[in-house]
Structure 1
Amino acid sequence: MTIAVAAQPRTGRALVTDTEFDTLAAFCADEYGLERCVADRVIDQALAFVYVMGTTGEGATMAPSQLVDPGWHTLILHTGWYADWCREQFGYFLHHQPNSKVRTRGLMTSVVDRLRAAGFEVDEQLWGTAAECNSPACCGDGPCC
């Protein structure tokens, strides 16, 4: 008899070392005025987002949410590290080509679906797809909910 064990969703955080994650999250918190617990969530989702774009080649049809975008900017601002990480993960440098003007709930739902399809945990409050999401504060109960 074979027992199937459901795989746990992976995290963006697992794509980098603990030291790299801490450096990125601390920078994101400081640079964008976020509480560290929020910056941790943002960086986690940004890493997953960039990884999915890079491994699928579908970056032109994806966009980060307004709340996840500072995470991608944080990655890019660590240019040397980001360039090396991109080459290691998907073999090329993934450029940031802003398309924030097309952020819609439909697009964010599509991005969330792609993240899930790639096996990543999704923080729906950061993507504006949570049923209880209360934009622009997102969750309405404070930044760490």
Structure 2
Amino acid sequence: MTTAIAVGSRTGQSLVTDAEFDMLAAFCADEYGLERCVADRVVDQALAMVFVMGSSGAGAAMAPSQQVDPGWHTLILHTGWYADWCERSFGYFLHHQPNSKVRTRGLMVDVVDRIRSAGFEVDERLWGTAADCNPPACCGDGPCC
């Protein structure tokens, strides 16, 4: 018997404990001046992206959107936790290699496709891939906006 995982069936938040997610999202909200519900979405997407980067070895070809970047920084600023999580998740430390100057709609679509293909839910509004939306953290068409 085989079990198929539906595309978009898991979240970045599911990769960490509730206490870890709360610590990261609270920091993200405070450090970057985001409403907590927005910070929750940002950290969720950052966790999914970093997991895909580390587990696929495609980290050099991926970059966060401007909206997800604070979540990625939140993870790496918790250095001890981040190093342990990387080791548990993919067996090595995934270094941060900034390449924000190459953010394009095409790259964001590719990153979103990789995250979705790995079975994660994608918040398109945070990636600038939902219609023409890419304001600071949402389009005004969903929760917390």
Q: Same fold (TM over 0.5)?
A: yes
User: Any conservation in 1 of the 2:108–2:129 contact (CA below 8 Å)?
Assistant: yes
Encode CA deviations 1:86-112: one digit per residue, 9 max, x unaligned.
000000000000000000000000000
CA offset at residue 5 of structure 1?
7.6
Q: Tell me the residue number matched to 2:105.
A: 105
Across the two proteins, how many residue pairs are aligned to each other? Answer: 143
Query: Gaps spanning 5+ residues in structure 1: where?
Result: none
Q: Percent identity?
A: 80
Q: How many angstroms apart in 1 are the aligned matches of 2:140 and 2:26?
A: 23
Which aligned runs of 4 or more in structure 1 are off by greater than 6 angstroms? none
Give 1:13 shift: 0.1
- The answer (yes or no) to whether the contact 1:133–1:140 under 8 Å persists in 2 is no
Larger radius of gyration: 1
Contact 2:127–2:134 (8 Å) recurs in 1:
no
The alpha-carbon deviation at position 138 of structure 1 amounts to 3.5
Q: Structure 2 CA distance, aligned partners of 1:51 and 1:42?
A: 14
Query: Kindly tell me: are residues 51 and 6 of structure 1, through their superposed partners in 2, closer, same or farther at Cα, counting changes over 3 Å?
Result: closer
Q: CA deviation at 1:140?
A: 3.8
Task: Name the CA distance, whole Å, in 1 between partners of 2:16 and 2:114.
Answer: 20
Alpha-carbon distance change, 132 to 104 in structure 1, aligned in 2, over 3 angstroms: closer
Structure 1 distance, partners of 2:63, 2:56, is 14
Contact 2:38 2:137 in 1 (8 A): no
Structure 1 counterpart of 2:11: 11
Q: Considering only aligned residues, what root-mean-square deviation do their CA atoms show, in Å?
A: 2.0
Taking CA–CA contacts closer than 8 Å with sequence separation of 6 or more, which of the two structures ends up with the larger relative contact order? Answer: 2
Gap runs ≥5 in structure 2: none
- Helix, strand or coil at the partner of 1:76: helix
**TM-score, with length taken from structure 1:** 0.91
Q: TM-score w.r.t. structure 2 length?
A: 0.91
